[in-house]
Structure 1
Amino acid sequence: MSSDFWIDQWLGSPRFQRYVDSAGGDRGDALALYEWNASLSAALLKDFSHFEVALRNAYDKAISSAWKNSTHWLLDPQSPVVVPLWRVKTHSDGLKRGSDINEKNRRQVFRAIDNCGKKNAEAGKVIAELTFGFWRYMTTSAHEKSLWVTYLHKAFSGKPQRSDIDRIIGTVHILRNRIAHQEQIFNLAHEFDPAIVHTEMMTVLERINPEAKARVLASSSVAEVFNSRP
Structure 2
Amino acid sequence: MTSNPSTGFAQLEQWFSSPRMSTYGRYSEPEAFYIWNTRLSKAYLEDIQHVEVLLRNRIDNQLSDARGPRWFEDASYFRFTDQFKKAVTTAKRRAGARHSPGKIIAELTFDTWRFLLARRYKTTLWPILLRGLPNLVADGLGQEDFEAHVAVIYGLRNRCAHHEPLVHSDPLTEANQLDKYDSSLFHVAHWIDEDAARWIKKNSRVPGIRSRRPA
- TM exceeds 0.5? yes
**TM-score, normalization: structure 1?**
0.80
How far, CA to CA, are the matches of 1:206 and 1:3 in structure 2?
44
Match of 2:62 in 1: 62
Question: Deviation per CA, 1:37-92, whole angstroms, max 9, x where unpaired?
Answer: 0010011000000000000000111112222xx56212445462xx45xxxxxxxx
Find the counterpart in structure 1 of residue 179 from structure 2: 195
Aligned residue number for residue 158 of structure 2 = 177
1:106-135 alpha-carbon deviations (Å, 9 max, x no partner): 1001111122234x3201100110000000
Residue aligning to 1:135: 113
Whose helix fraction is larger, Structure 1's or Structure 2's? 2
- Quote the Cα distance in structure 2 between the aligned partners of 1:76 and 1:135: 16
Unaligned regions of 5+ residues in structure 2, if any? 1-6
Greater RCO, 1 or 2 (C-alpha within 8 Å, sep 6+): 2
Gaps of 5+ in 1: 85-101
Paired residues for 1:17-96 under 5 Å: 17-21=22-26, 23=27, 26=28, 29-67=29-67, 72-76=70-74, 78=76, 80=78, 83=79
Which of 139, 142, 149 does residue 168 from structure 1 map onto?
149
Q: CA offsets, 1:137-170, max 9 Å, x none?
A: 1111111112112x11122123131001101100
- Backbone CA RMSD of aligned residues: 2.3
**2:87 — aligned with what?**
108
CA contact (8 A) 1:202 1:213 kept: yes
Q: Using the aligned pairs only, state the percent identity.
A: 28
Aligned pair in 2 of structure 1 residues 3, 146: CA closer, same or farther (>3 Å)? closer
Distance 1:17 1:134, change over 3 A: same
Aligned to 1:155: 132
Which SS does the other structure have where 2:24 is aligned?
A: helix
Matching residue of 2:18: 13
What is the distance in 2 between the residues matched to 1:168 and 1:3?
A: 39
Identify the structure with the greater strand proportion: 1
Q: Measure, in 1, the Cα distance between the counterparts of 2:181 and 2:153.
A: 6
Q: Which residue of 1 aligns with 2:200?
A: 216
TM-aligned CA distance change 1:65 to 1:190, over 3 Å: farther
Write the letter of the residue equivalent to 1:47.
D
Q: What is the CA–CA distance in structure 2 between the aligned matches of 1:39 and 1:108, rounded to whole Å? A: 31
Pair member with larger Rg: 1
From the superposition, tell whether residues 210 and 52 of structure 1 become closer, same or farther in structure 2 (CA, over 3 Å). Answer: same
